Structure 1
Amino acid sequence: MENPFLKEYKSDIDDQKLVADAQEGDKSALETLILKHQPFIYNIAWKFVRNPSDAEDITQEAIIKIITNLAKFENRSAFRTWAYRIVANHFLLIQRKPIEQVFENFEAMANGLAMTPDQPLTDLEKVQQQQLIREMNYSCMSGMLLCLTRDQRIVYILGEMFNADHTIGSEILEITKDNFRKRLSRARKDLYNFMQNKCGLVNKSNPCRCHKKVTFAVDNKIIDSKNLLFNKEEFSNFKQFIKKDADEMLDIVDDKYAELYGALPYKEDFDKKTFMEDIVNDDHIRNLMKLN
């Protein structure tokens, strides 16, 4: 899959053809177009709201908005800009999820971590529970994303995790390039300050360590050892979709932070076929698009 947020995205022509065919009622073209972009929409949603079920819901809602407005698309911009503008606006306007109350800000997260008792593991236990420790790591970093404001969060996901440069990012979010850079700068700085002061992954002098928290997390069902959300073998990671030579890499954050977030999981294994059929076989969608 080609990352649609990169400046040199080569699939604009393919998108234009698929859009034109879909606007003529070609169901297959519509399915191909949506399936092409659905994984990226879902993974933005997953990082934006953390809970996979919530992510599936808002992904489907955003895709329905794209499809129901596709007839109005006039190629005045690239399809990716138009489509992901709908996605971003939808995500920013949805009702706040319960998990966003838990990770309301970095102070709330710091207090939560401080209240979580440490239960150190032996070196052998660290090896035996490596998968759960990694799950704790991903879970904590996902929580840090939620501590950002929604405006910062969507900018960070697009600009840092998918490497959208200031031109693409500002067009999607309908803000100035300077504003995009400033929001990304502030998001990076806020994450930097928290991780530098709290996270043992990047600053060994910090007391917080994933392996010390994992026993409590499992015992209290914060982590489900039989149903990991973030650390599954079939997941890939964001690194494969980004490029190191991003157009506007700011120097606020050390490479270590970008590397950690680049390693967060990218989910490809959700039921794409059923997900799409629920949409394109809906009577309202079929009538609206005059699908063949």
Structure 2
Amino acid sequence: MNELQLIKESLEGNRKSLATLINSIQEYVFNISLRFLWDRLDAEDATQEILVKVITNLGKFENKSKFKTWVYRIATNYLINFKKTDIEKVLVSFDIYAEDLKTFKGPKEYNLPDRDLLEKELKTSCTLAMLQCLNREHRVAFILGSILKLKSTIGAEVTNTSPENFRKRLEKSRKVLGGFLNTNCGVYNPKNSCRCNARVNSALKCGRIVKGNLNFADKVEFYNEEMEELGSLSGIYQNHGSFKNNIDFVGQLNELIQSKKIMQ
């Protein structure tokens, strides 16, 4: 069944069609939320709110663009205006993050059996944390253009700007991130001394990694251990894979519908 039919039936009160429609979009709504916000709990809260907005505005979808593009626009509008997160309050600039990477609060050697998993967690956590140093407009542009590979015409539609302005934001974000990685990251530039496996103990001590409650590495649909573009800006971020969540968003939304808090 195509999306337009699902939308029509959802608006007519068909709960099964609505569940199918929400299931078709919840993964990419969650993924853009997690990349934008870094914190999994914040991303789960944002995803639920975005899905509620999709449902309550479903009647306004006019099929002038792809449904996915329309959903991305709702998502990015919500994320741009999301409350300031804890990590944003700390990583207010790339200079501050660069200084943080020079600080070690634990031994550089970590050789327990979960070393590889925690190194992946730190690598993903660190590169997504870098995005928090971008202002929100540039962060959205980078996620849409460099990670999700949306064309500038679609990115412009999603962010309600011109293709030219979208390309400028994307170019600026790539330049700033690329410069930071080239100067600091040992994955991006082997000449740099910073290595993820040397920072695992520090991350554990600071609480940035919590064993048994990882944010990223054990919750991906796929993870390419080796990738041709690993030393490139896009390659590093696409190498993360697609993040999974264990939240039953459809079930939560059904509860809201039954309580008549939405779809009235």
Give me the TM-score of the superposition, normalised by structure 1: 0.81
Q: Does structure 1 residue 211 correspond to structure 2 residue 197?
A: yes
> Secondary structure of the residue that 2:199 maps to in structure 1?
helix
After superposing on structure 2, the runs of 4+ consecutive aligned residues of structure 1 that deviate more than 6 Å are none
Q: Distance in 1 between matches of 2:251 and 2:23?
A: 11
Is 1:69 the equivalent of 2:57?
A: yes
The 2-side partners of 1:201 and 1:167 are apart by: 32
CA separation in 2, counterparts of 1:284 and 1:90? 19
Quick one: which of 27, 41, 45 aligns to 1:39?
27
Tell me which residue corresponds to 2:146: 160
Structure 1 residue 121 displacement after superposition: 2.3
Counterpart in the other structure of 1:6: none
Instruction: Report the Cα offset of residue 148 of structure 1.
Output: 1.2
Q: Where does 1:238-253 land on structure 2 (aligned, <5 Å)?
A: none
Task: Tell me the CA shift for residue 255 of structure 1.
Answer: 6.0
Q: How far apart, CA to CA, are the structure 2 residues paired with 1:138 and 1:188?
A: 18
> Which of 243, 261, 264 is residue 240 of structure 2 equivalent to?
264
Matched position secondary structure for 1:283? coil
Alignment check: 8 A CA contact 1:236 1:267 kept: yes
Mind listing any 5+ residue stretches in structure 1 that lack a counterpart? 1-12, 245-252
Following superposition, the deviation at residue 91 of structure 1 comes to 0.7
Q: Give the alignment of 1:216-227 within 5 angstroms.
A: 216-227=202-213
Residue 217 of structure 2: aligned partner? 231
CA offset digits 1:177-229 (Å, max 9, x no partner): 11111111111111100000001112122121112211121133221122221
Q: How far is the alpha carbon of 1:82 from its aligned partner?
A: 2.2
Give the distance between the partners of 2:230 and 2:197, measured in 1 at CA: 24
User: Which residue in the other structure is 2:84 paired with?
Assistant: 96
Residue 280 of structure 1: how far off its partner (Å) = 3.5
Partner of 1:178: 164
Distance 1:72 1:120, change over 3 A: closer
- The yes-or-no answer on 1:59 pairing with 2:47 is yes
SS at match of 1:236: coil
* RCO comparison, higher one (Cα < 8 Å, 6+): 1
Post-superposition Cα deviations, 1:118-167, rounded to whole Å, max 9, x if no partner, equal 73328xx3876122122111111111111111111111111111111112
Partner Cα distance (1:263, 1:189) in 2: 19
- Evaluate the alpha carbon distance shift between residue 46 and residue 144 of structure 1 in structure 2; reply closer, same or farther with a 3 A threshold: same
- Specify the SS of the correspondent of 2:64: coil
What is the identity percentage for the equivalent residue pairs of Structure 1 and Structure 2?
32
Partner in structure 2 of residue 247 of structure 1: none
Match of 1:248 in 2: none
Contact 1:138/1:231 (8 A) holds in 2: yes
Alignment check: 8 A CA contact 1:23 1:70 kept: yes
Q: Does 1:121 align with 2:109?
A: yes
State the distance in 2 between where 1:235 and 1:15 align.
26
Cα deviation digits, residues 43-94 of structure 1 (max 9, x gap): 1001111111111111111111111111232333332232221111111012
Distance 1:29 1:144, change over 3 A: same
| Equivalent position SS for 1:53 | helix
Question: Which consecutive residues of structure 2, in runs of 5 or more, have no partner in the other structure?
Answer: none
Structure-2 separation of matches of 1:254 and 1:221:
27
Q: Tell me if structure 1 keeps the 8 A contact 2:152–2:166.
A: yes
The answer to whether the Cα contact below 8 Å between 2:189 and 2:231 also exists between their aligned partners in 1 is no
Q: CA RMSD in A?
A: 2.4
**In 1: Cα distance, 2:223 partner to 2:11 partner:** 32
Deviations, residues 211-248 of structure 1 (Å, cap 9, x unaligned): 2211121133221122221111x512488xxxx9xxxx
Quickly say closer, same or farther: Cα 1:42–1:238, change in 2 above 3 A: farther
Cα distance in structure 1, aligned partners of 2:65 and 2:24: 18
